[in-house]
Each structure stands twice: as structure tokens, then as C-alpha cells.
């Protein structure tokens, strides 16, 4: 745990963590399991401490103009802490990924060649919205025997300091080397950190830090990516496009799109990230079902923007444009496409390469969509909305419970940032012993 009683020195702190890495790698799976179970219990036992700190942060947030989904993301609740505690307990029961020998084979000369799974080293977790990102991240770093330094940039500094201090103390009490979990001092609330801020200095520490994982608004993540000299996993919020193929049955569209959307909003599941969906609609499907689709969406009170061909038929809709990010309701943008080829071209040109969806009754259309769409995560006849799996919080419901979001990069990991993403390998060549 970082001591801010004296002047904080980033290089000294990072050197201290790196000296602990051999100790972390030698930890037994049972030691890590017991530590994670202790973190889970302590999170519930001291939830009052975290909720009190979060309440103070939220009071200061009221003085700022923040979108509703960000306020939802900042707010801890007993239910969200309960879910995080459950995930830490679940993490404790997972197999230890460190020290496993995989992909081994024996050569003709008798030499055995294998890959030995090891920790990455020192990971920096940087976030501006979701406290669960820190909770999950600390647990996943401990499970994979990595050192970790956290930075909470934004208006939840009291929450951040309280949860990191609580988990760091608990981990040390249960066999984790003291100092393996660190945090930067409180950041200011500016959208972009200042040039001399500890956060930007952290992003330059190629000698000590092995990986940066950010979580926040797209513009903020992009700012950190451009500023960082350390390898950085790019994550993205949002849900991408849903392509409604010519063969998509109406009951499928209703169960995958309309029913999940109905569960969001002020009286339902809170929106924790911008719930903007691009709906690419095959013109043949639109000829039969577009009226019913729009009537259902408007009946739910969902804001709709539409391209010109659809506006001609439904002038009560709004034209395509920017906006809606502060709404408490989902919002859709409707775009007609002539066929699957046009839909794929549209997505590859305009998508964020995170998550894309196809609704179809055609195996060949689904296979082509899978092969040709450039995205980390493809949904085929299943909803991209994560209601029920983390309630829309990216660090809880991004395809897998035990993940830190979705990486949109190709190296070193693409897709869910899971336990394996926090490890690397050594290649071992072994002769006779």
C-alpha cells in the first residue's frame, strides 16, 4: 500500500514492486486462493466504509455536468459490492494459471519443447468511471501473481483510495507481499491529465511497467493511448452495430433486441455506458417488419434517429446526427442496407472493432459475417446487451464475468481481457534430467 505521508516518488514505488515480483511468482495457488477469499469477505464486512466514501464523491459530482450513464457508473451500491465479492470468490476457485506447462512436444532428438505460463510482471490499471474495475483488477492481478499499481482519474478519488487501501491491507494479512498493490496519489478531476501529473508520468515508465489497461470514455482512453510509451490494451465502451438480415425471424428480433431494451431505463436497469445502437436493416426485412419495429421502439420511449429513406416513411423520427449521450434511455440509429455485403462494408468502415451482431436465419450469412467483419467479439443471434451479466457494467458483463473489458487490439490479446491476458510464456527446452 502506498504511503502518502511523505512525498510520493513514482520511480521508487515502481522499483519496490518489481523487487517483489519473484516473491509473487513463488506464491502457491492455495495462498492466492485464501487471499482472494479474504478479499471477498472483507469487501462485504467493510462495505459501509466504501459506500460512505462513494457518497462523499457523488456529492461533489453533483456540482459537475456529467452524463447520467457516468453518474450511474460512478455510484457504488450494496448490490454491486455483493456482485464484486461473488466474483472474487469465484476467481479464488479458478485453476492457477501460473506455472502450467502447455503445448509440449518431444523432438526426434529427444529434446522436450514446451511453453511455461508466467506472470506479465507489473500491470498499471487506470480508470475514470467504474470502481469495479479496480476491484476485479486487483483480484485478477493477484491470481496471476502480477504486481499492480492503480490510478483512479476522475471524481471518485475517495472511493478509489478507500477500496485500494482496504484490499491491499487485507491481501498483506493473508500472505501477499506487502507493497504488491500500489496506487498513485489522488488525481485532479480534469478531463485530460496535466503533463506533469503522476498518471502521465506512469505511462512513460517503460523500465518498470509491463502493461497498461485503461477503462473509461473512448476519448479519454485514446488520450492515454497516445500519451503512453508503455504497451497499452485498448478497450472500448458501447455495443456496436446490429445487422438484421433479410432472413431474420420477427420472434428472434424481439427476443434479442426489443425485450432486452425494454429492461433498461430509469425504472429498470440503469445505463452504465452509452447505449447507442446502430441498427443496419436489410431493405427486404424492412419492407415487412419496419413499421412493427418502430412502433415497438417508440412505445418503449426509445429515442430513434434514422437515415433519409426511413425518414420519408416515418417523419416523426429524428435525422441521423450526434448526441443522446446523456439520456437515461437507450437510443437507436436506423440505417437501411441493400444486402449483407453493404452491411459488412458499413461496419468495417464505421465500427469501433469491439462488438458486432448479426440476426439471421441463414448459416451462410452468419459464417460470412463472422469471417469478414473486423471486430473482437461477434454475436450471432444473441444479444450484445449485457443485462443479467453484470447489468451493463463493462468490467462485469463484457462477455465474461472474469474480465477487465474487451480489447479491440490484435496484440497481445484481442477480445475479453481475462486471466490468460495477464500472463505470458517462457519457452523451455529440456533434455534428460
- 215 and 251 in a single domain? The answer is no
CB 351 within 8 A of CB 295: no
319, burial (CB in 10 Å: exposed 0-12, middle 13-18, buried 19+): exposed
What is the reported pLDDT for 172?
98
At 406 the pLDDT is: 85
* Residue with grid cell 511453453, as numbered in its chain: 115
Q: What per-residue confidence (pLDDT) applies to 31?
A: 98
Count how many residues are written for the chain.
433
pTM: 0.89
CA distance 61 to 312: 42
Dihedral sign of CA atoms 29, 35, 38, 40 in order: negative
Are both 226 and 263 inside the same structural domain? no
| Residue 222 grid coordinates | 485514446
pLDDT at position 403? 83
The whole-angstrom separation of Cα 57 and Cα 71 is: 11
Is residue 285 in a domain? yes
Q: How many domains does the chain have?
A: 2
Instruction: Pull the grid cell for residue 395.
Output: 468490467
Q: At 161, which CATH number? A: 3.40.605.10
Residue 390 covered by a domain: yes
My answer on whether 357 and 246 are in the same domain is yes
Give the pLDDT of residue 322. 60
Q: What average pLDDT values come out for the chain (433 residues) when binned by 10 residues?
A: 64 97 97 98 97 93 80 90 93 94 85 93 94 94 98 88 96 98 76 70 97 91 94 85 97 94 74 82 97 94 93 93 60 95 97 93 98 94 66 46 82 89 93 78
Residue 411 belongs to some domain of the structure = no
192 & 155 share domain: yes
Residues 334, 305 contacting (CB under 8 angstroms): yes
Q: Are 274 and 385 contained in the same domain?
A: yes
Q: How much is the pLDDT for 396?
A: 43
* Separation between Cα atoms, residue 44 and residue 224, nearest integer Å: 33
Cell readout for 160 is 478509489
Q: Answer yes or no: do 35 and 151 share one domain.
A: yes
State the residue for C-alpha cell 448526441: 323
pLDDT at residue 399 in the model: 42
Q: Are residues 315 and 209 in the same domain?
A: no
Supply 336's cell numbers.
437501411
User: Torsions phi, psi of 210, nearest 5?
Assistant: -95, -25
CATH number of the domain bearing residue 351: 3.40.309.10
Check whether residue 227 and residue 245 sit in a common domain. no
Query: DSSP labels for 66-96?
Result: --HHHHHHH---HHHHHHHHHHHHHHHTSPP
> Are residues 291 and 367 both part of a single domain?
yes
The answer as to whether 35 is a domain residue is yes
Does residue 402 lie in a domain region?
no
132 part of a folded domain: yes
Q: Which domain holds residue 352?
A: 238-397
Query: Looking at the structure, do residues 168 and 48 belong to the same domain, yes or no?
Result: yes
Q: Are 152 and 430 a contacting pair, CB within 8 Å? A: no
Cell numbers given for 229: 510509451
Question: Tell me, what's the pLDDT at 197?
Answer: 84
Amino acid at each position: 500500500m502506498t504511503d502518502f505521508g511523505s512525498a510520493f516518488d513514482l520511480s521508487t514505488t515502481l522499483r519496490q514492486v518489481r523487487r517483489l515480483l519473484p516473491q509473487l511468482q513463488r506464491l502457491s495457488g492455495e495462498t492466492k486462493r485464501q487471499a482472494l477469499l479474504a478479499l471477498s469477505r472483507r469487501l462485504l464486512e467493510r462495505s459501509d466504509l466504501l459506500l460512505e466514501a462513494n457518497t462523499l464523491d457523488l456529492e461533489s459530482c453533483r456540482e459537475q455536468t456529467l452524463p447520467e450513464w457516468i453518474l450511474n457508473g460512478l455510484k457504488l451500491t450494496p448490490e454491486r459490492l455483493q456482485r464484486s465479492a461473488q466474483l472474487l470468490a469465484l476467481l479464488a476457485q479458478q485453476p492457477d494459471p501460473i506455472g502450467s506447462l502447455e503445448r509440449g512436444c518431444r523432438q526426434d532428438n529427444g529434446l522436450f519443447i514446451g511453453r511455461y505460463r508466467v506472470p506479465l510482471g507489473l500491470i498499471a490499471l487506470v480508470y475514470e468511471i467504474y470502481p469495479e474495475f479496480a476491484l476485479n483488477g486487483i483480484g485478477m492481478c493477484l491470481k496471476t501473481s502480477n504486481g499492480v499499481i492503480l490510478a483512479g482519474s476522475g471524481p471518485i478519488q475517495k472511493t478509489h483510495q478507500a477500496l485500494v487501501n482496504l484490499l491491499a491491507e487485507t491481501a498483506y494479512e493473508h500472505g501477499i507481499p506487502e507493497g504488491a498493490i500500489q496506487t498513485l496519489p489522488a488525481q485532479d478531476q480534469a478531463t485530460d491529465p496535466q503533463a506533469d501529473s503522476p498518471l502521465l508520468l506512469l505511462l512513460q515508465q517503460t523500465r518498470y511497467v509491463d502493461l497498461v489497461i485503461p477503462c473509461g470514455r473512448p476519448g479519454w482512453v485514446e488520450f492515454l493511448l497516445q500519451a503512453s510509451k508503455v504497451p497499452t490494451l485498448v478497450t472500448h465502451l458501447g455495443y456496436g452495430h446490429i445487422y438484421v438480415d433479410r432472413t431474420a425471424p420477427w420472434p428472434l428480433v424481439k427476443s434479442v433486441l426489443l425485450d432486452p431494451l425494454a429492461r433498461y431505463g430509469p425504472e429498470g436497469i440503469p445505463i452504465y455506458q452509452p447505449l447507442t445502437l446502430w441498427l443496419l436493416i436489410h431493405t427486404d426485412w424492412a419492407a415487412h417488419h419496419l413499421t412493427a419495429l418502430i412502433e415497438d421502439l417508440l412505445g418503449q420511449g426509445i429515442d430513434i434517429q434514422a437515415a433519409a429513406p426511413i425518414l420519408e416513411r416515418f417523419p416523426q423520427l429524428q435525422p441521423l446526427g450526434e448526441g443522446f449521450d446523456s439520456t437515461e434511455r437507450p437510443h437507436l440509429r436506423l440505417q437501411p442496407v441493400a444486402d449483407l455485403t453493404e452491411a459488412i462494408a458499413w461496419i468495417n468502415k464505421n465500427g469501433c472493432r469491439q462488438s458486432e451482431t448479426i440476426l439471421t436465419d441463414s448459416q451462410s450469412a452468419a459464417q460470412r459475417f463472422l469471417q469478414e467483419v473486423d471486430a473482437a467479439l461477434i454475436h450471432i443471434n444473441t444479444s450484445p446487451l449485457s443485462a443479467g451479466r453484470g447489468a451493463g457494467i463493462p468490467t462485469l458483463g463484457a462477455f465474461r464475468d472474469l474480465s477487465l473489458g474487451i480489447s479491440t487490439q490484435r496484440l497481445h490479446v484481442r477480445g475479453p481481457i481475462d486471466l490468460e491476458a495477464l500472463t505470458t510464456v517462457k519457452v523451455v527446452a529440456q533434455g534428460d534430467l
